[in-house]
């Protein structure tokens, strides 16, 4: 290859797309080449000095292609060279198509009202004319659905020749679960997907396929359905409850595989009913989301926390515009350095409502980004004479303690705060559980040490056991047991020598509408306890459900404690808890 200006002009006349080596290398460094065949582009994340603007990285052009190819490839022309480089890059995993299409999210600048939702991968930015927020999504489109049950090809390996794939490389072909054109909720599509899984795994799925739940009703509850899992369902009771909107005995459905559990809860329920019933009340009914806002300094974070309270009505209007059921009840900022955890609390009626309030909070964050932050920035800079800086938002901070235990749950805010209490006469306690009030209180005191030593959050016998069985039976989000079971049980003796027992469930997340409550078996179990009615469904019945759950937990804790004191715990599990179908257990 000849060098110099004259050689460059002569060379340009014969092969216009190719340039002299010096020019090609310079163009490659500057990133000023033409488009690569196939329109594969690379994007680089926004830097710190460009105010968060999204910038497009260097395009790989024909000049750069020629510089990266061997001498023989350059002589075949720019088009052949482009195709060769593209094949090389895809074959080595250098620039997979999905990775090349991705874009880094744009940071939120307080001056232009942008907002970044870290969980959803969205960038919210203000329109150029000062209008409403515009959503620019950076998600990669899902793979195309294919008819049949031969699985789907991983899009990362699409278009790559078999000879170019390496067995251990990221671009190796894999088969995805069949999805079908409409996501596959028809009976025959569920059956074909189940057959495909059986062939791939070698498992026999006969029982999984024997489901009485119509497959179409599964949409919105699960993806890639292949059937249903059967759980043993028992019933315990009667459980007498006297509380808000309820004064009756109920029989409680319990789905579990733990032998002796239903019998133990039933024993406690019968005793409480003979004692006159459990008194219950619901003190609070709300759910929460807590986004985090990251500022450039503590002055900006403190200024935001001080000012946001004055905009509560506007924030509430933005949030409630997305739902006809949710209502914002509280807006509380917590400053941690240059971060602000902004806690939104909502009343969600009879729904668990997490999806509802996340959507509402996202809309409220749009308003904060578009309207509130620009005004706050102007006031801040006018008062202090310093730049306000940027603000980045993430819809989840971890403060809400969704589906995990946390000490903050003891204060409530994650569902319904429910109390259940009973006074059990001494004679009844001895007759039914074979213990005295003093025995029960002594055990309760001694277990305080173990709870403290283990770092437990809450103090109770086994609230999670009963709640889990009730949640499965009644179509609740079972993962919420993690926060719902943060409970406090208290045992005391009265002046008359009887036993006073109570349980507090400060963050009981339950629902009678939405989610799994609409499934056929869940609806039947809810109907058993009066939390679903043909004329109204589950509307207006979630507080009733919460009181039943609290009374159930109290019954279970008392029976559990008495079994430990009397030495019956091991014997009961040996009798009822061993899976020996060929032997009767009496």
Q: Per residue of the chain (586 residues), what is the pLDDT tens digit? A: 444 455 444 444 444 444 455 555 555 555 444 333 333 333 233 334 444 333 344 443 444 433 444 444 444 455 555 555 455 444 444 444 333 333 443 444 443 433 333 333 333 333 333 333 333 333 333 444 444 455 565 555 554 444 444 555 555 678 899 999 899 999 999 999 999 999 999 999 999 999 899 999 999 999 999 999 999 999 999 999 999 999 999 999 999 999 899 999 999 999 999 999 999 999 999 999 999 999 999 999 999 999 999 999 999 999 999 998 899 999 999 999 999 999 999 999 999 999 999 999 999 999 999 999 999 999 999 999 999 999 999 999 999 999 999 999 999 989 999 999 999 999 999 999 999 999 999 999 999 889 999 999 999 999 999 999 999 999 999 999 999 999 999 999 999 999 999 999 999 999 999 999 999 999 999 999 999 999 999 999 999 999 999 999 999 999 999 999 988 767 766 777 666 656 554 4
Which has the closest alpha carbon to 94: 171, 186, 11? Answer: 171
- Phi, psi angle pair for 60, to nearest 5°: -85, 115
Q: What is the per-residue pLDDT for 138?
A: 35
Secondary element (H or E) of residue 560: helix 542-566
First to last CA, the chain: 96
- The alpha-helical segments, DSSP class H, found in 321-473 are 354-367, 373-384, 426-433, 437-454, 463-473
Contact 471, 309 (CB under 8 A): no
Q: Which domains does the chain have, with CATH numbers?
A: 1-40+50-91 (no CATH), 100-138+291-399 (3.30.70), 152-178+180-218 (no CATH), 234-285+413-576 (3.90.770.10)
Q: What is the per-residue pLDDT for 567?
A: 85
- In a 10 Å sphere around its CB, with 0-12 CB exposed, 13-18 middle and 19+ buried, how is residue 147 labelled? exposed
Can you tell me whether residue 462 is helix, strand or coil? coil
Q: What is the per-residue pLDDT for 81?
A: 52
**Distance (Å, whole) CA 281 – CA 244:** 6
**Distance (Å, whole) CA 582 – CA 586:** 12
Question: pTM to 2 decimals?
Answer: 0.72
Do you know the residue count of the chain? 586
Question: Which amino acids are annotated catalytic?
Answer: 258, 477, 573
């Amino acid at each position: 290859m000849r060098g110099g200006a004259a050689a460059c002009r002569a060379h340009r006349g014969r092969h216009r797309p190719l340039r002299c080596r010096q020019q090609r290398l310079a163009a490659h460094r500057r990133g000023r080449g033409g488009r690569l065949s196939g329109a594969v582009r690379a994007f680089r994340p926004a830097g710190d000095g460009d105010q968060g603007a999204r910038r497009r990285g260097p395009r790989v052009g024909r000049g750069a292609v020629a510089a990266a190819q061997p001498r023989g490839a350059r002589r075949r022309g720019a088009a052949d060279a482009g195709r060769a480089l593209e094949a090389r890059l895809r074959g080595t995993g250098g620039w997979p198509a999905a990775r090349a299409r991705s874009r880094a999210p744009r940071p939120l600048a307080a001056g232009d009202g942008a907002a970044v939702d870290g969980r959803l991968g969205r960038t919210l930015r203000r329109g150029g004319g000062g209008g409403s927020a515009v959503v620019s999504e950076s998600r990669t489109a899902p793979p195309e659905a294919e008819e049949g049950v031969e699985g789907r090809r991983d899009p990362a390996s699409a278009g790559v020749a078999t000879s170019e794939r390496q067995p251990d490389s990221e671009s190796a072909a894999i088969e995805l679960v069949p999805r079908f054109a409409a996501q596959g909720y028809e009976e025959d599509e569920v059956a074909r997907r189940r057959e495909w899984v059986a062939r791939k795994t070698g498992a026999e799925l006969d029982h999984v396929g024997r489901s009485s739940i119509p497959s179409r009703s599964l949409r919105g509850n699960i993806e890639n359905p292949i059937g249903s899992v059967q759980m043993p369902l028992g019933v315990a009771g009667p459980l007498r409850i006297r509380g808000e909107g309820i004064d009756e005995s109920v029989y409680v459905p319990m789905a579990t595989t733990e032998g002796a559990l239903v019998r133990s809860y039933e024993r406690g329920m019968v005793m409480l009913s003979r004692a006159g019933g459990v008194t219950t009340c619901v003190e609070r009914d709300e759910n929460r989301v807590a986004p985090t806002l990251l500022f450039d300094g503590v002055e900006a974070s403190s200024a935001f926390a001080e000012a946001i309270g004055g905009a509560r009505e506007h924030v509430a209007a933005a949030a409630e515009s997305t739902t006809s059921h949710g209502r914002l009840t509280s807006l509380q900022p917590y400053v941690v350095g240059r971060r602000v955890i902004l806690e939104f609390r909502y009343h969600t009626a009879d729904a668990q409502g997490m999806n509802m309030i996340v959507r509402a909070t996202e809309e409220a964050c749009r308003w904060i980004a578009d309207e509130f932050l620009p005004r706050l920035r102007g006031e801040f800079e006018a008062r202090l004479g310093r730049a306000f800086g940027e603000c980045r938002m993430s819809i989840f901070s971890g403060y809400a303690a969704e589906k995990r235990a946390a000490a903050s749950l003891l204060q409530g805010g994650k569902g319904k705060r429910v109390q259940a209490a009973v006074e059990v006469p001494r004679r009844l306690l001895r007759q039914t559980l074979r213990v005295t009030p003093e025995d029960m209180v002594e055990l309760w005191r001694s277990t305080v040490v173990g709870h403290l030593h283990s770092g437990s959050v809450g103090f109770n016998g086994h609230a999670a056991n009963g709640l889990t069985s009730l949640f499965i039976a009644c179509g609740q989000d079972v993962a919420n047991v993690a926060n719902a079971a943060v409970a406090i049980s208290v045992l005391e003796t009265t002046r008359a020598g009887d036993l006073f027992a109570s349980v507090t469930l400060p963050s009981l997340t339950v629902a009678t509408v939405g989610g799994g409550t609409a499934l056929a078996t869940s609806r039947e179990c809810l109907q058993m306890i009066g939390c679903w009615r043909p004329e109204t469904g589950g509307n207006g019945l979630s507080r009733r459900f919460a009181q039943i759950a609290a009374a159930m937990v109290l019954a279970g804790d008392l029976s559990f404690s008495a079994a430990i004191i009397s030495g019956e715990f091991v014997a009961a599990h040996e009798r009822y808890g061993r899976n020996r179908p060929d032997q009767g257990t009496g």
